[in-house]
Amino acid sequence: MARNLYRVSKKQWQKWTAQARHVFNAVYAFMLDNPQIVGFPEKPMISPRQRKIIAWNSAWIAADASDDNIQYEYA
């Protein structure tokens, strides 16, 4: 069982399956550990606060998608 390492609200954490919880933890940690994946090479690095917000939102979307089996179509 995945631990709530990043203090997601208890209400939301309980809604997600074990798989979604693991996805959230993995995506959030990976994005924080790899700041170069957020932003553009020729632009200055974004602030740590902005990077945390982007990582949080991305991890949340990934967790929701893993539960919903959302399929995206790309044009």
This prediction has a pTM of 0.85
The residue ranges of every structural domain in the chain are 16-68
Query: In this predicted model, what pLDDT tens digit does every residue of 10-52 receive, in sequence order?
Result: 999 999 999 999 999 999 999 999 988 888 788 888 889 999 9
Burial class (CB within 10 angstroms; exposed 0-12, middle 13-18, buried 19+) of 33: exposed
Instruction: Tally the C-alpha atoms within 13 A of residue 74's C-alpha that lie toward its C-beta.
Output: 0
